[in-house]
A = this chain, B = another copy of it.
Amino acid sequence: MRAVTERESEVLKSIVQEYIATGRPVGSRSFVQKYSFSISPATMRNIMYDLESLGFLTHPHTSAGRIPTDTGYRYFVDFLSDSYDISDLDYGYIRDDFMRSEVHLDKMFMSITKMLSSVSRLAGIVLTPNPDFTAVKQIELVSIDPETVLLIIVTRTGVVINKKIAISERVTRDILFSTSNILSSEFAGFSIYDIKTDILGKMRQKYSGSDEQICLDVVELALNSINEQDIFIEGIENILHIPDMIEKEVLTSFLRLIEEKKNLAEIMQRTMDSDSVQTFIGSEIDNSYVVGCSLVACCYKIGNKNAGVLGVIGPTRMDYRKVVPLVDYTGRLVTNFLSSVSR
């Protein structure tokens, strides 16, 4: 497959933009006119034909204008879309709004989700931080009945995680207390990830044979089963006011997508490796069923580790030039906030 020429690129870019703006198939004549191309409609048709052979465009029926394929959007987003500059969009008020919001972390994420949705006029989505990567501030063991111990972890971000642990052997309150102290002093400042991969091993040697050993084992088990990532979605009703979505197939795939939160979390996770905004267009989201929807997402960090993901879900025909910088900006905002709060 041959490369795309300069002129073809330019045309493709304009076609995608035009289609994003109007939602109607783009035909040669009016398009040449509107965008003041200095070529005739006939030439435009030839270019369109070529772009179609290359897989970037298609038409709904013989005598209709062209619309972008998923591949076309992909090429547009990767190479052609010049995002608006943040400063042009004036997101200052977002920051102000945001800073006024409560310190409670869950509420913060909820308000971020709402904000993403209301600014983009699409659905906002936030995956809360993977606790593995947040630094532990304090850790505590509390006996709640003879066979159960409650493990409480307070993170630097102020989140409280608790996990019940079944404990078979008899462990006295004193042992719990001393283990708590040991854990707090040894774990403080490290992330759960560090603890699991590194610290626990060292401690096992250090305390082998002692009474506290028993506790260490179950604590490890408990740490491995921590899985407190939540997903927030807001603005579903925005989506329904979008004409593209009324097509039953599209709407169904959207709803199935957001209802299967577990699956959605996995999809979001794929962003975790990257530091920049990622777009998932149509079937790229989930090769099975998704039609007509796209996801724009990026990570936010705690410390210097990617901890969670936030973004926007909407129709494939969305204004990436605006959505991408919005997601980008919001990501940085959350990153900054979390680093200020977990200090």
On whether A154 and B144 interact (CB within 8 A), knowing A252-B240, A255-B237, A259-B234, the answer reads: yes
Which A124-166 residues sit within 8 Å CB-CB of chain B?
A: 137-138, 140, 142, 144-145, 150, 152, 154, 158, 160, 162, 164
Whether A236 is near chain B, meaning CB under 8 Å from some CB there, is yes
A321 within 8 A of B: no
Tell me the dominant secondary structure on chain A's binding face. strand
Residues of chain B within 8 A of A164, CB atoms compared: 158, 160
Task: Count chain A residues whose beta carbon lies closer than 8 angstroms to a beta carbon of B.
Answer: 24
Indicate how many identical chains form the complex. Answer: 2
Least CB distance, A58 to chain B, in whole angstroms: 27
Which residues of chain B are near A158, meaning CB under 8 Å?
164
The answer, yes or no, to whether A293 is at the interface (CB within 8 Å) is no
- The reply to whether the CB of A256 lies closer than 8 angstroms to some CB of chain B is yes
Query: Nearest CB to that of A260 among chain B residues?
Result: B237
Bound-complex Cα distance A256 to B164 (A): 37
A236 touching B259 by the CB < 8 A rule?
yes
A51 beta carbon closer than 8 Å to chain B:
no
Q: Can you report 17 A-B residue pairs in the complex whose CB atoms are below 8 A from each other?
A: A137-B144, A138-B142, A138-B144, A138-B145, A142-B152, A144-B154, A150-B152, A150-B160, A152-B152, A162-B162, A234-B259, A236-B236, A236-B259, A237-B252, A237-B255, A240-B255, A241-B252
